[in-house]
Each structure stands twice: as C-alpha cells, then as structure tokens.
Structure 1
Amino acid sequence: MNQFAKLNVAIVATTTLYACSNTGGFSDMAMNVASSYIGQYQVTEIEGEAIVADSKPELSLNDDGTLTGNTGCNNFSGKYEWVGTALSIGEMATTRKMCAPALIGQEQKILGALASVKNAKLEGLDIVLIDEHNNPLIRAAKSNE
C-alpha cells in the first residue's frame, strides 16, 4: 500500500472513530476500520530513550475508548478519542505504589508524554504516539495477546 493510500485509510479510520465515539464504544464498522490501532503494546521507547531495564511498561488501546496500561511501576487508565484526524488522550488515573527512583522517573515521562499526544501512526505492528509537531513521544510494539 503506498503512502497516499495509507493516509486515506488513516483519515477514514479516525473520522469513523470520532463519529462513533459518543456511543460509549465503537460500532462494528468503526471496529473493522480501527482494528489496526486497537490492541496491547509493549513500550520500547519514551521520547527517543530506552525504557528502564526489565520494567516492561505497556499500554492498551481498547475498543471501548479506554486506554489502560502500566508504567513499569503503577497501573494507569483513562479515555482516548479520535477528534477528526487527531488523537486526544484524557487525564490518566494511576495507582500509587512506591517504586525505585528510576521507575518513578520513567512513570513521570510516560504520563507526561501521554498528556502531550496529539496523534498516532503505525510503523509495521508498532504504534508511535506523536505530539503536535509530529515528534515521537512513545513507541510501542504490538503484543502477541
């Protein structure tokens, strides 16, 4: 598929998701179009830096419009929505357990990056969450659920 065709698919997917997002979930049509984004991912990079060794942060874009995951320390959850062709991620609720300083720092970076997400793109099976200037914030590999 060429880049133009990929862009058209992404625009159709995001527009369809936006149109269906007020129903508390996605319609069958939106689910078919958006299925490439929905899933569980293992975070591999945060703002271009590797994750803390053995921390295994993850995130899941769920078909009901929720975003859930783990920072390598605490769990988080919130909502996401496609607004036109842009991705909007709401405020995240988190658990509050104590962790090593490196993991707390990673958690702050992940939560800060999620607050700055304006869009997403797929690179193979990886998802890249990007900011308003198209800079990568979080890169994650799709899990074999």
Structure 2
Amino acid sequence: MFPTFKMLFFVMFSSTLVACASHNQKNETVSETPTLTGTWQVEDIDQGGVIDNAMVTIEFLEDGRISGSTGCNRFSGSLKTEDATFVVSKTITTRRACVPAIAKQEQRFLSALNEAAYFKVEADTWLVIFDASHQPRLKLIETTLSTQLHKDPIDKAASQANTFQCEQIGEVNFRFVGPETIKVSIDNQQTILNRQQSASGAKYTAENMTFWNKGNKAQLSLNGLAYPCVKSLPRKPR
C-alpha cells in the first residue's frame, strides 16, 4: 500500500510542475498591446494604395479619441483599443465637396475605419488595421517615418519648429509632420493642417483654421478672422 501512495504522490507532484511550467510559458508569450499615439499616414486602403496628393491621416489623442484627414474632409470619433481591438464609433466628418476620385477614396477610407476590428504593428513600423473577417483594411506609417520613407525634400530647418508672432493671438508654432502636413500649436492646443494649392507661398488648412506662409511673413485665419504674423528671429547667444 505504501508504494501505491508514493506513486500517487509522484504523479500529483509531476502534474503540478507541468501546470506551473505551462502557466509560466504562457505568461512569457503574452506581449503587451502597443499604445497608439501620434499622427499616422495612411499608405494603403483595402490593398489598393492611396492617391498621392490626398494625404489621409489618423491622429491618436490621449482621451480615447481619434481625428485626422480623409484627404478632403476632417473627421473625428471615439476609439477603443483594449487587447489590440480597434473599434471606432461616433464618427463625424466635415462636409466639404471633393473631386470624384478623392470622394470615392474618402468613402473607402471611412468604410474601412468603421468596419475595423483589431490591429497589429508589423516590423515596428507599420500599423495594420483588420476587419472582423481578418482582412487588412488600412496600412499606416507614423508621419515622421513617412517623411523619411518618401524622402521628401524638406530641409533640416523646415523640419524643426518655426515660431511666429501673430497679432491678438501671440506665439504660434508650426512643425512639419509629413510631406504635405504641418502641426500648428497655439497655447498647447495642436491642430493638423494639410497643404492646399496657393498662387503664392504655402497654404495649409483644417476645418476652422488656415495658415499661409511666405518667407518671414504669415497669416493665421481662425473661424473666418485673419491675423497677420511675423516670424520670430532666433535669439542670439550672449
């Protein structure tokens, strides 16, 4: 009887070791869900590419929301990303008229965004968003990496922050975040603007903001009101 009890104890002890080893191995293989931050540029929609001169972006905000550009209109919405899920809701867009090709791409983008189910980050570079049937719908790259990828001819000075003093507004900073995109900061409030055609200088627009710049002069328009701006000269070292 004693050998039987000894054998039973050995089997139970071995089973416990196997269970612990399996549990530890499982914990080692579980990876943390990447945190999505910053502004990302869409490089592919439904594996069909994107129109080059219509920059589509998604910006991940800290309050569980997203915003960005469809290539024609601005959009925003709520986002849930627990355990690599990617569920967008309450999406709203502006209603600017688009040329037919851009309008068609906008609908493809919004459909892919609203049908998204989960995401993966591939090669530490690409953000790939899938739907519930495991089809890749959107492929994005962070805007800083996108600039390097496309080798955009933005000089080193332009890629750094530029500061302007605007009448009645005060200090306004802007920085390039993509080939055709700038981020304007006013009192710690940041807005992404996309470049538009302009007869002279460089013009960037968002829903309620326009920033025009030529040399050391600029003009900031907010909600239809225009404010002239002058570039701040760098301080000379003493």
Q: TM-score range by the shorter chain?
A: 0.7 to 0.9
The answer on whether the counterparts of 1:91 and 1:115 sit within 8 Å (CA) in structure 2 is: no
1:8 lines up with 2:34 in the alignment: no
Q: Percent identity?
A: 26
- Indicate the residue corresponding to 1:136 in structure 2: 136
1:35-64: per-residue Cα shift (whole Å, max 9, x none)? xx2221110000001101211111112221
Contact (CA 8 Å) 1:48, 1:137: kept in 2 or not?
yes
Asked if structure 1 preserves the Cα contact closer than 8 Å seen for 2:45 and 2:137, the reply is yes
Query: Hey, what does 1:89 align to over in structure 2?
Result: 88
Change (3 A) 1:105 1:7: farther
Distance verdict in 2 for CA 1:113–1:7, change over 3 Å: farther
Residue pair 2:40, 2:57 contacting (<8 A) in 1 also:
yes
4+ aligned runs moved over 3 Å, structure 1: 4-7
Between Structure 1 and Structure 2, whose CA radius of gyration is higher? 2
Q: Do the aligned partners of residues 110 and 81 (structure 1) sit closer, same or farther apart at CA in structure 2, a change above 3 Å counting?
A: same
* TM, length-normalised to structure 1: 0.74
Quick check: 2:84–2:120 contact (8 Å CA) kept in 1? no
* Partner deviation per Cα, 1:8-34 (whole Å, 9 max, x = no partner): 224xx3xxxxxxxxxxxxxxxxxxx62
**TM-superposition CA deviations, 1:111-132 (whole Å, max 9, x none):** 1001110001101222111111
- Extract unaligned runs of 5+ from structure 2: 1-25, 145-176, 178-238
Larger strand proportion of the pair: 2
Residues of 1 paired with 2:134 and 2:52: CA distance? 27
- Match for 2:61: what amino acid? N
Q: Does residue 51 of structure 1 match 2:50?
A: yes
**Separation in structure 1 between the aligned mates of residue 28 and residue 127 of structure 2, nearest angstrom:** 14
Q: Matches of 1:133 and 1:43 in 2, distance apart?
A: 21
The DSSP-based 3-state class of the residue aligned with 2:76 is strand
Tell me, in whole angstroms, the C-alpha distance in 2 between the residues paired with 1:44 and 1:6. Answer: 33
In structure 2, what is the Cα distance between the partners aligned to 1:87 and 1:104?
24
Give the partner amino acid of 1:106: Q
Is 1:121–1:128's contact at 8 Å kept on the other side of the alignment? yes
**RMSD (Å), alpha carbons:** 2.1
Q: What secondary structure is seen at the aligned counterpart in 1 of 2:81?
A: strand
Change (3 A) 1:7 1:38: farther
The yes-or-no answer on 1:64 pairing with 2:63 is yes
Deviations 1:60-94 (A, max 9, x none): 12221111110101000001012454221113110
| Distance in 1, Cα, partners of 2:106 & 2:94 | 11
Aligned twin of 2:150: none
